Amino acid sequence: MTKKSVIVHSLDKENNKATFASSSTGEIYETKLTSCTCMHNRRTGATCKHMMALSEIFGVEIEIRKSEKSAKKPKVEKPTVAIHRLDKESQTAEFISKNSGETIITTLSSCTCKGKNFKKICKHMEVLKEELNITY
């Protein structure tokens, strides 16, 4: 394995900045100790090889950031489903599936979105409970 090399294009020691030329595309990246214009850094916010090289050149320790995507835990999204019809008496609600346009029938113990044997609570049931002011 050969280390991926980065080519220093220009150095700005006063401002702790440098530009690097991509070895594959010849593109020029502007690199500071905290950011870089390369795709890797722009996309993920992670410390890229250019920033690593820059920290080496200047002999400055930098904080290595990993890709934000992998660092962040997936956010638990709030239910975004909207009730289509609500029958408070029978505690049943109807939802329209955003994906398929199908009608989903939800009661407090079942929901058609996951089949009859679905045991856990889905977003429809959560919304229904909220709507009926039921807390367990």
Tell me which residue has tokens 């009730």. Answer: 83
Q: How many other CB atoms are there within 10 angstroms of residue 14's CB atom?
A: 6
Residue 67 per-residue DSSP state: P
Which amino acid makes up residue 16?
N
Q: Give the interface with Zn ion as residue ranges (CB under 5 A).
A: 36, 38, 41, 48, 50, 111, 113, 122, 124
Q: How far is the CB of 101 from Zn ion (least distance, A)?
A: 15
Q: How far is the CB of 50 from Zn ion (least distance, A)?
A: 3
Q: How far is the CB of 65 from Zn ion (least distance, A)?
A: 12
Q: How far is the CB of 112 from Zn ion (least distance, A)?
A: 7
Of 25 and 73, which CB lies nearer to Zn ion in the complex structure? 25
Furthest CA-CA distance within the chain: 73
Of 71 and 103, which CB lies nearer to Zn ion in the complex structure? 103
- If 0-12 CB within 10 Å is exposed, 13-18 middle and 19+ buried, where does residue 15 land? exposed
> Residue 92 and residue 105: Cα distance in Å, rounded?
7
Q: How many other CB atoms are there within 10 angstroms of residue 94's CB atom?
A: 16
Q: How far is the CB of 79 from Zn ion (least distance, A)?
A: 10
Of 70 and 73, which CB lies nearer to Zn ion in the complex structure? 70
Of 3 and 73, which CB lies nearer to Zn ion in the complex structure? 3
Of 15 and 73, which CB lies nearer to Zn ion in the complex structure? 15
